[in-house]
Structure 1
């Protein structure tokens, strides 16, 4: 397989092999710093202990984000305190939930809510997910059948959002959101879940799956650091803009770079 080289590199830096993975829902967990770095740059308090559980707290101390890989099943827990509008809420995401999809929700925690009413299903329908009723549940399934999102009614009358992905080799994750979870957060999650953009994983971190497509790319450490820094810079700029009454700058948004011309490996 021919690897892609980035233009403008000097001869003194060694490229490393990475892979772009589609669909992103089956790409594996990824680097948790994708989530924590953005929150930290957005003014969140990092209350983690060295070598322990990741624990982040919002500036107003009303929302907490934790990641625990040391227990079973482990994974992400996001908890919001009750306010005058809704009761407390929580979201639980398995540890193999790709960090790019987790960040759909956690990034949205740092931004003001849109004035438009949220629609969880809209991002899925825009990417041709199939929606249907299943008894009292409403479900959307990705075109390849590997990922789903469902509004789930339990026998006791409670309701929750339930989502996940699974391939034929048994790679899987699930997530659920309590009934009081703000809908704009669930919509932000569904938008990243449905995104057709591939995500990047280093060699050795790509799940063995017959239902993913990969593109081999050669990336230098400085290039990776530049992409990560662009995301951090965007978070800091947005935080500065929100906290500066005189600022009218639009909010910056960093998106991952997708190299053109990389070849697929099936």
Structure 2
């Protein structure tokens, strides 16, 4: 794209052709900044090396999110350190996993956990996914049959969440989560996987698949920028609110008592 098309961001700008794609699970990877910019606005540190893969680290340094397109098969890796009750956990998502679905997981990393017990299957059932039990496997399949979510439990005691999407030409992606991945994160992922809303892709970035539906839309660069900025602003506002709540939290330890009329000795 020539620079002159991007200058001004105002009345003289030209609309560009984009496409709404449905189902979102087959929309292709998308722009990784949808994930990284939200994390950055939420206070995460960018540990990426120049010219290397993306690497983001949580403020408390316990979780890392990486995207590496330079190796095969490449894709996303999310790794959480062990804490007292649980061991380390990880999630691996293929490079064609739509960023909107990846963000279901990574956005949830920046937010407080819900007080309610997580239910991975609830978002899928709400969107009429088909569920079935086959031996040690419980599987949910999307209405059009392109995407799935599966919980596997092997006789040796190992277990794993496995999910993905594939069209009839064999194009698609897979992802898996280790058994001790926090369930609220897996639920956040399944909610975006089941989301029926289409996602937007620019011209030239729409997969060639007979199983997707597309609608052509004209979008101005300033509109795209405004939509992206709204997401970043929301992340910054939520981060500010959490930090403010922590700094204004009332003291839980008693102050030293000073008798009336007495003075404290400086040390």
TM-score (norm 2): 0.88
Q: Report the CA distance between 1:195 and its aligned residue.
A: 0.1
- Output the CA distance in 2 between the equivalents of 1:70 and 1:216: 31
- Output the CA distance in 1 between the equivalents of 2:137 and 2:173: 20
State the secondary structure of the residue aligned to 1:189.
helix
Q: Report the CA distance between 1:70 and its aligned residue.
A: 0.4
State the secondary structure of the residue aligned to 1:245.
helix
1:141/1:149 contact within 8 Å kept: yes
Say whether residues 1:149 and 2:149 are aligned partners.
yes
1:241/1:247 contact within 8 Å kept: no
Change (3 A) 1:10 1:63: closer
What is the root-mean-square deviation of aligned Cα atoms in Å?
1.5
Change (3 A) 1:124 1:114: same
State the secondary structure of the residue aligned to 1:12.
coil
- Output the CA distance in 1 between the equivalents of 2:247 and 2:90: 33
1:98 equivalent in structure 2: 98
- Output the CA distance in 2 between the equivalents of 1:49 and 1:10: 35
1:68/1:76 contact within 8 Å kept: yes
The alignment covers a number of residue pairs equal to 240
Q: Report the CA distance between 1:50 and its aligned residue.
A: 2.0
Q: Report the CA distance between 1:245 and its aligned residue.
A: 2.1
Residue pairs, 1:140-179, within 5 angstroms: 140-179=140-179
Q: Which moved more, 1:98-107 or 1:78-87?
A: 78-87
Residue pairs, 1:111-130, within 5 angstroms: 111-130=111-130
2:18 equivalent in structure 1: 18
- What are the Cα deviations for residues 131-175 of structure 1, in whole angstroms up to 9, with x where unaligned? 110111000000000000000123532001000000012211000
1:57 equivalent in structure 2: 57
1:66 equivalent in structure 2: 66
- Output the CA distance in 2 between the equivalents of 1:72 and 1:146: 23
- Output the CA distance in 2 between the equivalents of 1:247 and 1:237: 15
Q: Report the CA distance between 1:84 and its aligned residue.
A: 1.3
Change (3 A) 1:155 1:69: farther
TM-score (norm 1): 0.88
- Output the CA distance in 2 between the equivalents of 1:247 and 1:190: 34
- Output the CA distance in 2 between the equivalents of 1:16 and 1:43: 32
- Output the CA distance in 2 between the equivalents of 1:136 and 1:122: 20
Change (3 A) 1:246 1:175: closer
Q: Which moved more, 1:179-188 or 1:49-58?
A: 49-58
1:36 equivalent in structure 2: 36
1:26/1:166 contact within 8 Å kept: yes
- What are the Cα deviations for residues 38-78 of structure 1, in whole angstroms up to 9, with x where unaligned? 00000000011122100000000000000000000000000
- Output the CA distance in 1 between the equivalents of 2:199 and 2:38: 17
- What are the Cα deviations for residues 76-131 of structure 1, in whole angstroms up to 9, with x where unaligned? 00000000121100000000000000000000000000000000000000000001
2:10/2:222 contact within 8 Å kept: no
State the secondary structure of the residue aligned to 2:218.
strand
- Output the CA distance in 1 between the equivalents of 2:113 and 2:61: 18
1:210 equivalent in structure 2: 210
Larger Cα-atom Rg: 2
2:223 equivalent in structure 1: 223
